[in-house]
Copies of this chain bind each other. A is one copy, B any other.
Amino acid sequence: MNDLRHPHPQAMSGEELTALFEQVSNWGRWGPDDERGALNHIGAAEVARAAALVREGRTVSLSRDFPTQPGPENPWPAQHHMVIAGDDPCVPGVDGLEVSTDYIGIAFHGMASSHIDALCHVFAQGRMYNDHPATEVKSTGARRNTIMAARDGIVGRGVLLDVPRALGVAFVDPEHLTTAAELQATEAALGVTVGKGDLLMVRLGRDVRRAAMADQAVPGLDPRVVAWLHERQVAVLGGDGVHDPIPSGVVHRDWAMPIHMLGLAGMGLHLMDNLDLEPLAEVCAELGRWTFQLVAAPLRIAGGTGSPLNPIAIF
């Protein structure tokens, strides 16, 4: 996916990325045992205020469908198997009971799967958030920074920055990394200001582009954006891609996916990957507002590196 020989013009050097990591690091900020990271920006006030955004009584899913079909972006499809179907709806041991049941299985960290990354999902030079070694993620489950940090849900103000809409394009070109200045221009165009504790959803138009183009490129953000996220005290970053562009265009092998590394490992910023932001963008445009209550409820997977996710925006 990355190619060190063809660096992106916006690619940062190893020294620059190391300095940026130091700048945005939240290691120790909420104590040595903290596993919530930037979720700490969401306090009771933020939760309560977000609910006040609900007016029209509409709900919108930000999730793609469970990715059972193979494809270039889904080399390891999820399993969905019927265990009992309507052709034989019996349950051994329960006389007369007629049911259907099924089974799902998924390695959810794929490009076709809407999911959340726990803070143990990505390491920077062998360390994860709050200075724990990668080896704390055992073959038998993670011991630190698991998705259980979000077990009571992530609830707050959702903000959609619909970059193509603000820039007047169909989609962002994967060759160009969206900058903080462009996010700010989007804020201005849409009339919103990203702030403390926000669950920031950035739409780059991946799905519109995918329908139009044959290649597998996915637009992404300039790594310098994390400094802006840090300054604004954003609690979660979501996107229609994976924030880092594909292909990555990185120049330093120590920084293969800089936003993941700076965000998850440095800031303790939970990431929501591969969301479907098209329906959300339509509702925002229809209602003329880009803020809403957002509720994300990961499965409570002890030792887990994340979870499949269906975030719900409520207007």
Q: A121: which B residues are within 8 A, CB to CB?
A: 99-101
Q: Tell yes or no: A11 within 8 A of B by CB.
A: no
Stretch among A26-34, A40-48, A198-206, A213-221 lining the B interface: A40-48
Q: A20: which B residues are within 8 A, CB to CB?
A: none
Q: Check B253 against A80 for contact (C-beta < 8 Å).
A: no
Q: Check B152 against A60 for contact (C-beta < 8 Å).
A: yes
How far is the CB of A224 from the nearest CB of chain B, in Å? Answer: 20
Contact residues, A273-306 vs B (CB, 8 A): 293, 295-306
Decide: A155 near B312, CB < 8 A? Known: A57-B44, A82-B138: yes
Q: Tell yes or no: A168 within 8 A of B by CB.
A: no
Q: A76: which B residues are within 8 A, CB to CB?
A: 70, 77
Neighbour of A300 across the interface among B141, B248, B299, B310, CB < 8 A: B310
| Closest chain B residue, CB of each to CB of A276 | B300
Q: Check A139 against B141 for contact (C-beta < 8 Å).
A: no
Q: Check A54 against B47 for contact (C-beta < 8 Å).
A: yes
Stretch among A86-94, A158-166, A183-191, A228-236 lining the B interface: A86-94
Q: Tell yes or no: A210 within 8 A of B by CB.
A: no
How far is the CB of A256 from the nearest CB of chain B, in Å? Answer: 4
Contact residues, A45-86 vs B (CB, 8 A): 45-61, 63-66, 68, 70, 75-77, 79-86
Q: How large is the interface on A (under 10, 10 to 19, 20 to 34, 35 or more residues)?
A: 35 or more
How far is the CB of A38 from the nearest CB of chain B, in Å? Answer: 16
In Å, the complex CA distance between A137 and B87 comes to: 8
Decide: A107 near B94, CB < 8 A? Known: A45-B57, A56-B44, A305-B100: no
Q: Tell yes or no: A211 within 8 A of B by CB.
A: no
Q: A94: which B residues are within 8 A, CB to CB?
A: 1-2, 248, 256-257
| Closest chain B residue, CB of each to CB of A310 | B297
Q: Tell yes or no: A7 within 8 A of B by CB.
A: no
Binary CB contact string for chain A from 112 to 128 against chain B (1 if under 8 A, 0 otherwise): 00000000111111100
Q: Check A141 against B104 for contact (C-beta < 8 Å).
A: no
Contact residues, A118-157 vs B (CB, 8 A): 120-126, 133-142, 151-153, 155
Q: Check B96 against A101 for contact (C-beta < 8 Å).
A: no
Q: A70: which B residues are within 8 A, CB to CB?
A: 70, 75-76
Residue with the greatest number of chain B CB neighbours at <10 A, chosen from A46, A97, A151: A97
What 10 pairs across the A-B complex have the smallest Cβ distances?
Answer: A44-B57, A51-B54, A105-B105, A85-B139, A153-B312, A86-B134, A70-B75, A47-B57, A96-B253, A86-B137
